[in-house]
Amino acid sequence: MGGAAALGIGDITLLTGVLIAGALVVTYTLRLGAPPWPTTPRAARVLLSTLPDSMDGDILELGCGWGGLALALAARYPHRRVLGVELSPVPWSVARMRVLAGRVGNLEVRRTDLHRVDLSHAGLIVCYLQGSAMARLAERAVREAPPGCWLVSNTFALPGLTPVARHPVGDVFGTTILVYRIHGGDGDPADLA
Ligand X SMILES: C[S@@+](CC[C@H](N)C(=O)[O-])C[C@H]1O[C@@H](n2cnc3c(N)ncnc32)[C@H](O)[C@@H]1O
Can you give the binding site for ligand X, defined by CB under 6 A? Answer: 28, 32, 34, 36-39, 61, 63-65, 68-69, 85-88, 91, 113-115, 128-129, 133, 154
Residue 66 C-beta: closest distance to ligand X, Å: 7
Residue 85 C-beta: closest distance to ligand X, Å: 5
Judge whether 163 and 191 are in contact, CB under 8 Å. no
Q: Which of 82, 157, 74 is nearest to 125 (CA)?
A: 82
Q: How many CB atoms lie within 10 A of CB 91?
A: 25
Q: What span, in angstroms and rounded, lies between the C-alpha atoms of 58 and 50?
A: 17
Residue 109 C-beta: closest distance to ligand X, Å: 11
Closer of 13 and 27 to ligand X (Cβ): 27
Query: Which DSSP state fits 154?
Result: E
Q: Helix (H, G, I), strand (E, B), or coil: what is residue 50?
A: helix
Residue 153 C-beta: closest distance to ligand X, Å: 10
Q: What span, in angstroms and rounded, lies between the C-alpha atoms of 89 and 25?
A: 8
Closest CB to ligand X: residue number: 63
